[in-house]
């Protein structure tokens, strides 16, 4: 007997060869197979007349086979199967299939047939080349309906999948619906069986939409349950209440060399208010590159440290940590706080080395000062929150550029922040994360529901807009001449190379090295050109970046796999090669590497593509410097996947497609909240609990 758990390889209709392909698609059981949804549908739902009026349209026609013929072209090892059909209009239509002689076996003369495909005119005759077909008496599966198209892997066609899934659908009646009946009834959602039938073989567009809505809702409900649970779990902790010292903060702000933007004020206030609460803050500061997050972090740090508590600031790389150390020491220098830098670099030298010994001693000294509480503010890489670092009273952790930590690492960081060792016992530190990837609002509602969010959606007034230009091949030389002049006037330049399609590391190095060579020998023979690629050791990378910072290098060529998150106020031009290969948000991130000093800055988008679509997309970069606007556009153009970086988020496609659907998200959130209010552990919703458990295994959320 076949059940939902039956292995596909044990189904007699599925040969081992096919079972192996399905296995590669991670489809092992009947249940997996049924939950593999079509990614689009061909609309063959309306039967059209065989008529010259329908020429060049993709249609479904129905008629009687009046003639059939098979011919073989031996030289080309090809067979051509042909039929002629007619409907009431009595206009003959010829349908042709190459190398599918078996088609004719099922279509004897006089039988009635349905064909779906593009109707063309060949000479004087109506023609269809390789249409989908089916006997007209049969239930519409491949023609005459919305025909599901599955993502096909080599060796498997959508037609084959349809043929296999259809009889198995019956099994879906055994599936337990995780969405409680009461919610389904109230929101008028299909039960899981009906929804599955309609998603695979829709009776109409309306029913298909309803089925899709149901699955989008159920996935979103799981996402919301998960984020709300995370939130609740976080809020079950307690933290130290740090009283807002208005006088202190006012003084600090007044002495800044610039006036805070409205957004900076608002965000700072939200953070200071959070710090006063007995439950730990979990807030994301979301602001574009250059929107001034550091000073907001400084305000929060000052408030916490001035009450005698400790603060830790984490950056994704040592270079960035060092940069923060310098800028925060500068910002806070009037406040007699002990600020120190803690990184991991001592580990790289051998144990007998005297330099190491002194470094290690230094580190040990530092650790004991952290433990005694003598140090107020520790800045470093995530080495900070590892086992040997013990604090006296850590009350606030700030994680900068959190999007550069991998997704898994981020979840880990949040876990770790709960278990930092310090003398405080029962409380955990407040947590502020900062990201320079502007996240569109709908996305943050859907996915970052466990966090509070402060937006820095306003740039400091004194900023010069970065001038962005799309550079087609014929203007390349002109751009190089311009770069030469910029360098002669003392500026520096970044050149970013795209990730090589074939992402093997050797290929990447080869491409980067040869471009570096071309630029050094042919284009800028008199200049110093540095090279940064993914295979360099982190020490080597840091050395190259330091040279660039020290102006020993005029042009830094870097592959896009390398994070060049370093502040070079003297850099005034960034060139991005093959710009059309990047998402807008990513281009915007790169662009943010320049325009950080007083010089007018430029971003050149080199492209060899002249397709309308590519230039239209890049055009958005020329049009605006606003990161939120760009990310919103990117969301519409390329969907939400990119906001998770290259790491798979594990979010199902159908939920992905709906991450912009505010109404759906709000519904799901409200329902999730309702469920958890009455049943926090999902004890009364075992089906939902088990669906959530499965879901959690494949998904990573903040
Ligand atoms: P990011 O948000 O990318 O981390 P930073 O905090 O590094 O941005 O700030 C970028 C630059 O802008 C710094 O040089 C900082 O001193 C400056 N800055 C920050 N806020 C303001 C402001 N309100 N007015 C003028 N300059 C500012
Ligand atoms: Mg920053």
Alpha-carbon distance 588 to 583, whole Å? Answer: 9
Task: Work out the burial of residue 567: count CB atoms within 10 Å of its CB; fewer than 13 is exposed, 13-18 middle, 19 or more buried.
Answer: middle
- Closest residue by Cα to atom 22, ligand 1, is 460
Question: What distance in angstroms lies between residue 455's CA and the mean position of ligand 2's atoms?
Answer: 14
Architecture (CATH level 2) of domain 246-456: 3-Layer(aba) Sandwich (3.40)
The DSSP secondary-structure symbol of 172 reads G
pLDDT band at 267 (very low <50, low <70, confident <90, very high): very high
- Closest residue by Cα to atom 4, ligand 1, is 293
Say yes or no to pLDDT of 211 above 60. Answer: yes
Mean pLDDT, range 156-166, rounded to an integer? 85
Q: What percentage of the chain exceeds 90 in pLDDT?
A: 38
By most ligand atoms within 8 Å of CB, the mutation choice from 437, 456, 460, 464 for ligand 1 is 460
Determine the angle formed by the axes of helices 192-200 and 205-235, rounding to 10 degrees. 130
Question: What distance in angstroms lies between residue 596's CA and the mean position of ligand 1's atoms?
Answer: 9
Question: What distance in angstroms lies between residue 249's CA and the mean position of ligand 1's atoms?
Answer: 18
By most ligand atoms within 8 Å of CB, the mutation choice from 256, 285, 292 for ligand 1 is 292
* Domain boundary assignment for the chain: 1-40+149-175, 46-144, 176-236, 246-456, 467-628
Where is average pLDDT lowest: 162-171, 437-446, 590-599, 660-669? 437-446
Q: Which ligand is nearest to the CA of 597?
A: 1
467-471 sheet: strands from edge to edge? 467-471, 602-606, 571-576, 492-497, 555-559, 529-532
Alpha-carbon distance 31 to 21, whole Å? Answer: 16
Question: What distance in angstroms lies between residue 288's CA and the mean position of ligand 2's atoms?
Answer: 9
Pocket of ligand 1 (CB under 6 A): 258-261, 264, 287, 289-295, 436, 460, 462
Per-residue pLDDT tens digits for 142-156: 666 777 878 777 778
pLDDT at 197: 93
Task: Work out the burial of residue 286: count CB atoms within 10 Å of its CB; fewer than 13 is exposed, 13-18 middle, 19 or more buried.
Answer: buried
Which atom of ligand 1 is found nearest the CA of 400? 4
Alpha-carbon distance 61 to 56, whole Å? Answer: 13
Mean pLDDT, range 131-147, rounded to an integer? 75
Name 574's bridge partners. 494, 603
Average model confidence (pLDDT) for the chain?
A: 85
pLDDT at 192: 94
- Closest residue by Cα to atom 24, ligand 1, is 460
pLDDT band at 409 (very low <50, low <70, confident <90, very high): low
pLDDT at 347: 47
- Closest residue by Cα to atom 15, ligand 1, is 292
Q: Classify domain 1-40+149-175 by CATH number.
A: 1.10.150
Helical segments of 102-204, H only: 102-105, 158-168, 181-187, 192-200
Right CATH for 46-144 from 3.40.50.300, 1.10.3720.10, 2.60.120.10, 2.40.50.140: 2.40.50.140
Say yes or no to pLDDT of 219 above 90. Answer: no
pLDDT band at 610 (very low <50, low <70, confident <90, very high): confident
pLDDT at 646: 36
Domains 246-456 and 467-628 agree in fold: yes
Question: What distance in angstroms lies between residue 420's CA and the mean position of ligand 1's atoms?
Answer: 30
Question: What distance in angstroms lies between residue 342's CA and the mean position of ligand 2's atoms?
Answer: 18
By most ligand atoms within 8 Å of CB, the mutation choice from 252, 266, 287, 294 for ligand 1 is 294
Q: Which ligand is nearest to the CA of 462?
A: 1
Per-residue pLDDT tens digits for 323-375: 899 999 999 999 989 999 987 765 444 445 555 556 677 888 889 999 999 99
Alpha-carbon distance 57 to 48, whole Å? Answer: 10
Say yes or no to pLDDT of 468 above 90. Answer: yes
pLDDT band at 633 (very low <50, low <70, confident <90, very high): confident
Say yes or no to pLDDT of 699 above 70. Answer: no
Mean pLDDT, range 618-643, rounded to an integer? 82
pLDDT at 529: 96
pLDDT at 279: 95
Mean pLDDT, range 276-300, rounded to an integer? 93
Question: What distance in angstroms lies between residue 389's CA and the mean position of ligand 2's atoms?
Answer: 25
Say yes or no to pLDDT of 595 above 80. Answer: yes
Per-residue pLDDT tens digits for 520-537: 999 999 999 999 887 888
Q: Which ligand is nearest to the CA of 298?
A: 1
Residue 408: its H or E element: helix 407-418
- Closest residue by Cα to atom 26, ligand 1, is 460
Question: What distance in angstroms lies between residue 627's CA and the mean position of ligand 1's atoms?
Answer: 15
Alpha-carbon distance 420 to 397, whole Å? Answer: 10
467-628 homologous superfamily: P-loop containing nucleotide triphosphate hydrolases (3.40.50.300)
- Closest residue by Cα to atom 17, ligand 1, is 292
């Amino acid at each position: 007997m076949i059940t939902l758990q039956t292995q596909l390889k044990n189904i007699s209709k599925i040969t081992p060869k096919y079972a192996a392909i399905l296995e590669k698609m991670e489809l092992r059981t009947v249940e997996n197979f049924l939950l593999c949804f079509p990614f689009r549908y061909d609309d063959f739902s309306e039967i059209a007349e065989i008529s010259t009026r329908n020429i060049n349209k993709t249609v479904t026609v129905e008629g009687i086979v009046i003639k059939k013929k098979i011919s073989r072209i031996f030289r080309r090892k090809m067979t051509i199967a042909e039929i002629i059909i007619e409907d009431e209009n009595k206009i003959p239509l010829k349908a042709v299939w190459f190398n599918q002689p078996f088609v004719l076996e099922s279509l004897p003369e006089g039988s009635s047939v349905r064909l779906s495909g593009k109707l063309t005119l060949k000479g004087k005759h109506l023609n269809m080349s390789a249409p989908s077909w089916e006997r007209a008496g049969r239930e519409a599966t491949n023609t005459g309906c919305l025909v599901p198209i599955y993502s096909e892997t080599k060796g498997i066609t959508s037609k084959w999948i349809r043929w296999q899934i259809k009889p198995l659908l019956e099994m879906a009646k055994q599936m337990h619906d995780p969405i409680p009946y009461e919610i389904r009834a109230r929101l008028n959602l299909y039960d899981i069986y009906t929804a599955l039938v309609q998603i695979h073989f829709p009776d109409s567009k309306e029913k298909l939409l309803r089925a899709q809505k149901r699955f989008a809702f159920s996935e979103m409900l799981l996402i919301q349950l998960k984020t709300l649970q995370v939130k609740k779990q976080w809020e079950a902790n307690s933290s130290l209440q740090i009283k807002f010292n208005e006088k202190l903060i006012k003084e600090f702000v007044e002495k800044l060399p610039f006036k805070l933007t409205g957004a900076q004020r608002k965000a700072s206030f939200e953070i200071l208010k959070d710090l006063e609460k007995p439950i730990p803050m979990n807030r994301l500061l979301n602001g574009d590159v250059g929107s001034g997050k550091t000073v907001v972090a400084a305000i929060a740090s000052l408030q916490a440290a001035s009450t005698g508590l400790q603060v830790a600031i984490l950056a994704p790389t040592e270079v960035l940590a060092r940069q923060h150390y310098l800028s925060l020491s500068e910002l806070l220098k009037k406040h007699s706080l002990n600020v120190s830098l803690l990184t991991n670099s001592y580990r790289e030298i051998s144990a007998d080395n005297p330099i190491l010994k002194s470094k290690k001693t230094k580190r040990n000294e530092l650790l004991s000062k952290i433990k005694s509480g003598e140090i107020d503010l520790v800045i470093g890489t995530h080495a900070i929150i590892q086992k040997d670092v013990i604090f006296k009273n850590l009350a606030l952790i700030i994680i900068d550029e959190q999007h550069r930590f991998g997704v898994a690492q981020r979840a880990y960081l949040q876990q770790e922040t709960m278990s930092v060792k310090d003398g405080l016992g029962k409380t955990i530190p407040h947590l502020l994360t900062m990201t320079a990837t502007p996240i569109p609002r709908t996305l943050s509602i859907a996915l970052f529901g466990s966090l509070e969010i402060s937006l820095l959606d306003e740039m400091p007034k004194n900023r010069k807009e970065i001038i962005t230009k799309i550079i087609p091949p014929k203007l390349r030389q002109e751009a190089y001449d311009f770069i030469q002049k910029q360098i002669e006037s003392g500026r520096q330049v970044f050149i970013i190379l795209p990730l090589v399609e074939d992402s093997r590391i050797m290929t990447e190095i080869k491409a980067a090295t040869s471009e570096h060579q071309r630029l050094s020998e042919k284009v800028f023979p008199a200049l110093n050109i540095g090279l940064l690629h993914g295979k360099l050791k982190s020490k080597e990378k840091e050395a190259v970046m330091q040279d660039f910072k020290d102006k020993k290098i005029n042009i830094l060529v870097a592959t896009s796999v390398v994070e060049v998150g370093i502040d070079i106020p003297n850099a005034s031009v960034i060139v991005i090669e093959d710009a059309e290969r990047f998402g807008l948000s990513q281009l915007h991130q790169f662009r943010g590497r320049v325009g950080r000093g007083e010089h007018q800055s430029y971003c050149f988008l080199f492209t060899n593509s002249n397709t309308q679509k590519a230039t239209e997309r890049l055009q958005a970069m020329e049009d605006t410097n606003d990161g939120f606007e760009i990310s919103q556009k990117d969301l519409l153009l390329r969907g939400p996947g990119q906001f998770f970086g290259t790491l798979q988020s594990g979010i199902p496609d159908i939920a992905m497609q709906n991450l912009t659907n505010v109404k759906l998200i709000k519904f799901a959130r409200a329902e999730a909240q309702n469920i958890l209010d009455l049943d926090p552990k999902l004890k009364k919703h075992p089906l939902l609990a088990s669906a959530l458990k499965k879901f959690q295994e494949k998904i990573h959320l903040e």
